[in-house]
């Protein structure tokens, strides 16, 4: 799979996904809360929508990339760290979309009052969500860097005028 079209495809889409995830989680969300200090509910709603969008992007891309990666493997071995990283990212996306986000939305709908039991529960879920988001970001970054490193190591075949005929 050295420098194949499939590997370039994977690196390209992983780069887009990683860039989106890093931008939403570590740039846009903090800027929203800093820019809207008097309306944390609005900042939270907007950030939540963006986290949901990037989770859906991740879910789709992880599924596609797992299938592409599996199909490209001659040995069909599941022992590859890339496969397991992609599968882990798929699971993280599922947990975010279908477990954590709905639970957090339900708590928000009940009304979060500082110091209340609901606020404590929301804080715990938010902490878990943030930790899983960081894990996903690190997995994405490692996959992108590994793909770029592999592509940089693979020598390109030089063509000469005689090769083009």
Give the pLDDT confidence of 149-158 residue by residue, as tens digits. 665 565 555 5
- Mind listing the pLDDT tens digit for each residue in 116-139? 999 999 999 999 999 999 999 999
Give the model confidence (pLDDT) of 51-62 as tens digits.
Answer: 999 999 999 999
Name the pLDDT band for 79 (thresholds 50, 70, 90). Answer: very low
Sign of CA dihedral 117, 112, 91, 27: negative
Please tell me the distance from the alpha carbon of residue 138 to that of residue 135, in angstroms, as a whole number: 5
Global pTM reads 0.82
Please give the pLDDT value at position 164. 54
In degrees, rounded to 5, the angle at the alpha carbon of residue 147 between the alpha carbons of residues 143 and 152 is 150
Name 139's Cβ contacts closer than 8 Å, sequence gap at least 6: 85, 88, 89, 92
């Amino acid at each position: 799979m050295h420098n194949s079209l499939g590997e370039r495809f994977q690196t390209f889409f992983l780069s887009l996904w990683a860039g989106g995830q890093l931008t939403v989680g570590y740039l846009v969300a903090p800027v929203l809360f800093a820019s809207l200090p008097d309306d944390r509910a609005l900042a939270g709603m907007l950030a939540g929508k963006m986290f949901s969008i990037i989770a859906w992007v991740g879910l789709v891309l992880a599924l596609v990339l797992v299938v592409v990666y599996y199909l490209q493997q001659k040995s069909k071995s599941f022992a590859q760290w890339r496969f397991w990283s992609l599968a882990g990212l798929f699971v993280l996306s599922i947990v975010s979309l279908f477990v954590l986000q709905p639970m957090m939305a339900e708590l928000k709908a009940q009304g979060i009052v500082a110091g209340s039991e609901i606020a404590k529960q929301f804080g715990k879920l938010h902490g878990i969500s943030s930790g899983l988001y960081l894990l996903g970001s690190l997995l994405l970054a490692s996959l992108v860097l590994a793909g770029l490193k592999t592509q940089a190591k693979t020598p390109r075949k030089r063509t000469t005028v005689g090769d083009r005929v």
